[in-house]
Amino acid sequence: MKKIIKSIGALALGAMVFATSSLSVLADEKSYTYNYDYWGDVQDSPDAYTVAGVYTAEAFGLDLNFKSPQGMFVKDSMIYICDTGNNRIVQLERTGPVKFEVVRIFDTIQGDTEVTTLSSPTDIAISEEGDIYISDNGNARIVKVDSDLNYLLQFDLPVDSTVSADSTFQPSKIVIDTAGRVYCIATSINQGLCKYEADGTFSGFVGATPVTFDWMDYIWKKFATQEQRVRMTSFVPTAYDNIYIDHEGFIYACAGGMEEDDLDNGDAAAIRKLNLMGSDILVQNGEWPVYGDLYWGEGGGYEGPSYFTDVTVFENDIYVCLDKNRGRLFGYDDQGKTVFCFGGNGNMDGYFRQPSAIEHMGHDLLVLDSLDCSVTLFTPTEFGSLIYSAVEDFDEGNYEASGESWKKVMELDGNYDLAYIGIGRSLLRQKKYEEAMDYFELKYDDENYSRAYKQYRKEWVEEHIVVIVIVILAAFLIPLSIGKVKKIKHEIDIADIFRA
Amino acid sequence: MINALNKENFQKYIDSLRFALYCITHPLDGFWDLTHEKRGTYAAANTILFLTLLVRVMKLRYTSFIFMTVYWEGINIFLYIASVAFPLGMFVVGNWGLTTLFDGKGRLGQVYMACCYALTPYPLIQFPLMVFSNFVTVDEAEFYMVVSVLSLLWAAMLFIAAMGQIHEFGLGKNLLFMVASLFAMLVIVFILLLFFSMISQGIAYFISMGKEIMFRL
């Protein structure tokens, strides 16, 4: 008897251990792509992107391996990669969905200039006319050449009272706007982006990050001696890490390495969208700030907030930030809501070792890894494509089509907040207010809910105006008339003529 | 006879409940009469407390999400109720414990009754407000906020008035003892923590001793 009880107990215990362990395995298995919901909980999500290929120099058919490549630029089907360590630039053309051909490799330029070789090019940009701008870091210049590599112009150290004339100019990242103005990030210049006119003259700094400082440090500094003050950290703007100019001419600038506290209380922004005045106009209507991962606990040897090292902006205003710290990509829509998060550090396809640049070609994403010396090509999955078509349809005014796409997205992922809000917004445009309210309420979108409710309430009042007036009148008249009747009754009761 | 008594009791209960409305509009006079004229009943006090807790729980579900988004996974209804009831109980005990040493005239039950009566504005305002919240947009949210805060301020004011009248304290002494009561609450929490951790240590000791004996046998 005892044995039976014991064996049953052991069986039950075994079953329990098995059950809990299988549960924990399920819980541990995180999907490659995830998303943050309203509460900031991580929600597993279907993949928005899959790896179409990982290309090393060999796969591209190059003679030399990449050596710590830093910059990348995409124009139409052309890809320019700055092979920084080899002092050259590789131009590739995408000839098929997963096929690339080398167009040319160049390390020299021609024309009327003293230095014709490139030295550690860190970034490249191509203007509408086809002129090539190269951030020639080792030669302390930004050089402008035409499409046949003939020297046209060069941009040197900014002439400004705040910049010491004998310091070396170290341009790292550049963008050019439609008017041919050059915006550049240079190492050791933290006054903002260096802005040059099309004719090569320096015209000022734009968009410096706001200075953040610690109050305790500030007070200490007040009491410190001159010598101590020199040793203390100075309160200066953080230099940007990378810039991107979108199709509307707004500059997206990302600055990694922000202090955790500053990010948390909103003093610092990981990414800024700069207008012509250099002020930040990035819309942050999401529940969570645009700074990548919400949880910065140590895991797998990585800690601290996401470090945005590059950003790229689609034509539909969704922008993708590249996190160097955990090797992840974060997509945000024009409202600052998370569209997708995926990636990680590692050696598998779709994981990175030290990602340094991201570009997009259509809806595809290209990520350059400077340590792995490879380019990873991501193509959107059905899920990703549906999100894009929903967003684009909405922007074009095809609200019903957008709603249909969002519904398909919701079928693929019922935990995808944007789908609910998307359906709601499409219904709102179709004047189906009551249905829209349901969708907004499910995902706690109070702004849109209020918009829908306001219309719904207005319609309701207009429809029931007769009933409302009757009710209000009744509320006033009935007590009044009751009082009147009682009074009359009372007068009748006490009237003399009825007293016999 | 019994029927008549019940009817009389019921009438007394209704009257005392209605007296809560007088208390909140005439705090000084009302709370004086509450105990000195015996116009309050425990039944009414319990009812008001129950309504307060009920409205607080109902708010979770029926307030518009514009004002209150609830993370249902994190809600424990008993803890949620205790978050009001427990501090209230501690305040009552702490306040009585202190004032009884310093000429406070209120007895424990009277302090409890007065506290419950002081809660009246909460269900009275929050319930209609909860219904109202479903008919507003974010632009009109300010109305809700203001009224909501007013209900809490009103209740807080009533608390102070009630304690002063129950114990027959002047304003200064009353405020002093309100603050002192808060410290008394802290002391109670500390002692409870100490007590429970000691108890759990003690139980753990006997459990481990039992286990040891089982292994040895």
For chain A, how many residues are written? Answer: 500
Give the closest-approach CA distance of A462 to chain B in angstroms.
16
The answer as to whether B189 is a domain residue is: no
Give the closest-approach CA distance of B215 to chain A in angstroms.
16
Q: Which two tokens stand for residue A333?
A: 């829509």
Determine the pLDDT at residue A8.
53
Residue of A38, A39, A450 lying closest to B137 (CB–CB): A450
The answer as to whether B80 is a domain residue is: yes
Between positions 105 and 124 of B, the ones with CB within 8 A of A are none
Beta strands A364-369 and A355-361 are antiparallel
d(CA A155, CA A215): 39
Residue of B65, B71, B135 lying closest to A446 (CB–CB): B65
For chain B, how many residues are written? Answer: 217
The predicted-structure confidence for B66-124, as pLDDT tens digits, reads as follows: 999 999 999 999 999 999 999 999 999 999 999 999 888 889 999 999 999 999 999 99
Determine the pLDDT at residue A29.
66
Question: Among A121-125, A260-264, A427-431, B23-27, whose mean pLDDT is lowest?
Answer: A260-264
The predicted-structure confidence for A470-499, as pLDDT tens digits, reads as follows: 999 999 999 899 989 999 888 888 877 766
Residues of B in contact with A451 (CB under 8 A): 137
The answer as to whether B215 is a domain residue is: no
Residue of B69, B71, B138 lying closest to A450 (CB–CB): B138
Q: Is B72 on the interface with A (CB under 8 A)?
A: no
d(CA A128, CA A121): 21
d(CA A433, CA A448): 10
- Phi then psi for A299, rounded to 5 degrees? -165, 130
Q: Shortest CA distance to A84 belongs to which of A309, A356, A419?
A: A356
Q: Shortest CA distance to A114 belongs to which of A89, A86, A151, A84?
A: A151
Give the closest-approach CA distance of B211 to chain A in angstroms.
17
**ipTM value:** 0.81
Determine the pLDDT at residue A13.
47
Residue of B65, B71, B137 lying closest to A454 (CB–CB): B137
Residue A83 or A493, more confident: A83
The answer as to whether B52 is a domain residue is: yes
Residues of B in contact with A454 (CB under 8 A): 137
Give the closest-approach CA distance of B100 to chain A in angstroms.
46
Residue of B65, B135, B137 lying closest to A441 (CB–CB): B65
Chain-centre distance for alpha carbon A163: 32
What mean pLDDT is reported for chain B? 92
Residues of A in contact with B69 (CB under 8 A): 38, 444
The predicted-structure confidence for A307-354, as pLDDT tens digits, reads as follows: 999 999 999 999 999 999 999 999 999 999 999 999 999 999 999 999
Contact between A86 and A64 under an 8 Å Cβ cutoff? The reply is yes
Q: CB distance A457–B139 less than 8 Å?
A: no
State mean pLDDT over A459-472: 94
Determine the pLDDT at residue A317.
93
Give the closest-approach CA distance of A454 to chain B in angstroms.
7
d(CA A228, CA A220): 10
Contact between A318 and A310 under an 8 Å Cβ cutoff? The reply is no
A256 band by pLDDT with thresholds 50, 70 and 90: confident
Residue of B69, B71, B139 lying closest to A450 (CB–CB): B139
Q: How many CA atoms lie within 13 A of A61 on its CB side?
A: 9
Residue in chain A closest to B67 (alpha carbons) equals A446
Determine the pLDDT at residue A22.
45
Q: CB distance B71–A449 less than 8 Å?
A: no
Give the closest-approach CA distance of A455 to chain B in angstroms.
10
Determine the pLDDT at residue A20.
46
pTM recorded for the entire structure? 0.83
Determine the pLDDT at residue A33.
94
Q: CB distance A447–B65 less than 8 Å?
A: no
The answer as to whether B141 is a domain residue is: yes
Residue in chain B closest to A442 (alpha carbons) equals B65
B5 band by pLDDT with thresholds 50, 70 and 90: low
Residue A2 or A377, more confident: A377
Q: CB distance A449–B66 less than 8 Å?
A: yes
A24 band by pLDDT with thresholds 50, 70 and 90: very low
A21 band by pLDDT with thresholds 50, 70 and 90: very low
Q: CA–CA distance from B141 to each of A309, B58, B123, B129 (Å)?
A: 40, 19, 20, 11
Residue in chain A closest to B140 (alpha carbons) equals A450
Determine the pLDDT at residue A28.
54
Residues of B in contact with A449 (CB under 8 A): 65-66, 137
Residue whose tokens read 């909140």:
B24
DSSP symbol at A398: -
What mean pLDDT is reported for chain A? 88
Residue of B71, B135, B138 lying closest to A446 (CB–CB): B138
Q: CB distance A457–B135 less than 8 Å?
A: yes
Give the closest-approach CA distance of B54 to chain A in angstroms.
24
Secondary element (H or E) of residue A219: helix A215-223
Secondary element (H or E) of residue A375: strand A374-380
Give the closest-approach CA distance of A433 to chain B in angstroms.
14
Mutate to test the interface with B, among A428, A449, A461 (most CBs of B within 10 A): A449
Residue in chain A closest to B68 (alpha carbons) equals A444
Out of A208-212, A217-221, B44-48, give the one with best mean pLDDT.
Answer: B44-48
Residues of B in contact with A38 (CB under 8 A): 69
**Number of domain units in chain B:** 1
Q: How many CA atoms lie within 13 A of A287 on its CB side?
A: 18
Domain hosting residue B130, numbered range: 2-179
Residues 6+ apart with CB under 8 A from A104: A91
The answer as to whether B191 is a domain residue is: no
Give the closest-approach CA distance of B144 to chain A in angstroms.
15
Residues of A in contact with B135 (CB under 8 A): 457
The answer as to whether B116 is a domain residue is: yes
Q: Is B69 on the interface with A (CB under 8 A)?
A: yes
The answer as to whether B213 is a domain residue is: no
Q: CA–CA distance from A491 to each of A477, A487, A488, A494 (Å)?
A: 21, 6, 5, 5
Q: Can you name the residues that pair with B95 across neighbouring β-strands?
A: none
